[in-house]
């Protein structure tokens, strides 16, 4: 088995000037949530799986008792209207666990995307703040200055007052290695506390993506998930407050 192996399901799709959209697990699972919701909403078709020796040595057990080797998955969707584009969508269970694994995996993703005619990509992820936020902004980074103005029109934010920042993992590496191959790339990072799965941030990222791709999708399922996560966060905060109070009472008693 090669370091990264692609297994195709049926024939490779024939696409016209497709756009690659990546959403792998990361901070708040923002990118993964966004891409999976997009895949479900537009009924995208799976056409390939990626297996990597740098993924954890693990299988998942399905509800029917069978197993699934952890992987990344490619899906495609063909444009329905003139103002839309064919899409290649990538999501998965894990990113590479080492630097070598990340590079090997990203190079394979770019190989497959190039073979299908892609020359532009959007990578999606989270921007961890470490605290709660009511209305997450979507931060942006691009491979070319000409794209900055365009993305601002769609509501993306560029943090000029925070020089020297970086994008760790596949979302950043795809832009960097893709640029060397002539790809134009844009990364959208939804602000998130970072310690729980964040559907609210995924929704914010998708709202911008919807404007760019001209694909109308229903976001109500993400809104419902966001409310559920908020309830869990509040319960955790209450438990933490009670725990702190109990410790304080113990100290008073001992004193």
Question: What's CA 189's distance to the chain center, in Å?
Answer: 9
pLDDT tens per residue across span 71-83: 999 999 999 999 9
pTM, two decimals, is 0.89
How many angstroms separate the CA atoms of 184 and 179, rounded? Answer: 6
**∠ Cα 99 202 73 (to 5°):** 50
Alpha-carbon Rg for the chain, nearest whole angstrom, is 20
Contact at 8 Å (CB) between 190 and 136?
A: yes
Contact at 8 Å (CB) between 21 and 121?
A: yes
| Whole-number pLDDT of residue 110 | 98
The SS3 assignment for 181 reads: coil
What angle do the packed helices 220-254 and 199-213 form, to 10 degrees?
A: 150
How many angstroms separate the CA atoms of 249 and 235, rounded? Answer: 21
Domain extent listing, the chain = 4-218
pLDDT tens per residue across span 64-117: 999 999 999 999 999 999 999 999 999 999 999 999 999 999 999 999 999 999
CATH number of 4-218: 3.40.50.10900
Burial class of residue 60, CB neighbours in 10 A (0-12, 13-18, 19+)? exposed
């Amino acid at each position: 088995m090669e370091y990264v192996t692609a297994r195709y399901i049926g024939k490779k799709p024939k696409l016209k000037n497709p756009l690659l959209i990546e959403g792998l697990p990361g901070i708040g699972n923002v990118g993964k949530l966004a891409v999976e919701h997009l895949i479900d909403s537009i009924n995208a078709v799976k056409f390939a799986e990626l297996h990597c020796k740098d993924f954890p040595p693990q299988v998942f057990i399905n509800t029917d008792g069978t197993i699934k080797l952890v992987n990344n998955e490619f899906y495609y969707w063909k444009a329905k209207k003139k103002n839309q584009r064919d899409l290649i969508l990538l999501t998965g269970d894990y990113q590479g666990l080492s630097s070598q694994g990340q590079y090997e995996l990203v190079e394979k993703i770019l190989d497959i995307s190039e073979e299908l005619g892609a020359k532009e990509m959007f990578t999606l992820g989270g921007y961890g703040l470490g605290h709660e936020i009511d209305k997450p902004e979507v931060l942006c980074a691009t491979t070319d200055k000409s794209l900055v103005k365009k993305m601002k029109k769609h509501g993306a934010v560029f943090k000029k007052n925070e020089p020297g920042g970086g994008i760790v993992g596949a979302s950043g590496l795809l832009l960097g290695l893709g640029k060397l191959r002539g790809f134009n790339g844009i990364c959208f990072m939804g602000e998130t506390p970072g310690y729980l799965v964040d559907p609210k941030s995924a929704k914010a990222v998708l709202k911008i993506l919807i404007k760019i791709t001209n694909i109308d999708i229903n976001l109500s399922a993400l809104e419902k998930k966001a409310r559920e996560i908020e309830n869990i966060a509040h319960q955790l905060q209450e438990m933490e407050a009670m725990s702190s109070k109990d410790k304080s009472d113990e100290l008073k008693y001992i004193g």
